[in-house]
Amino acid sequence: MLVITRKASDSFTVGDDIKVSILEINGDKVKIGIDAPKNIIIMRSEVLDTMRNNIEAVATLDKISDLELLKQRIVIKNKEM
């Protein structure tokens, strides 16, 4: 991890086409601006973590639904016999 110190109105670049600017520093909060191509996805870490957790939860629900459906089919087949 690269760690750098910047002041308000300073900036730095990532690669050839991403510019990160320090817009404002107010106490323990820093306001940054990110100038990047539209094909670059920029997302706060906590949002990404929430999305990943939701995807995992949905996948688990799908598995439970599949098991319930299988259980129902087995019960129906057993009744037919």
pLDDT in tens, 1-28: 889 999 999 999 999 999 999 999 999 9
The answer to whether 12 touches 4, Cβ cutoff 8 Å, is yes
| Alpha-carbon gap, residue 23 to 19, rounded angstroms | 12
Q: What pLDDT score does 64 carry?
A: 67
Which neighbouring-strand residues pair with 13? Answer: 19
Position with higher pLDDT, 25 vs 77: 25
- Give per-residue pLDDT as tens, 45-64: 888 888 887 777 666 666 66
SS3 for the chain, per residue? CCCCCCCCCCEEEECCCEEEEEEEEECCEEEEEEECCCCCCCCCHHHHHHHHHHHHHHHHHHHHHHHHHHHHHHHHHHHHC
The pTM is what? 0.59
Residue ranges of domains in the chain = 1-38, 43-81
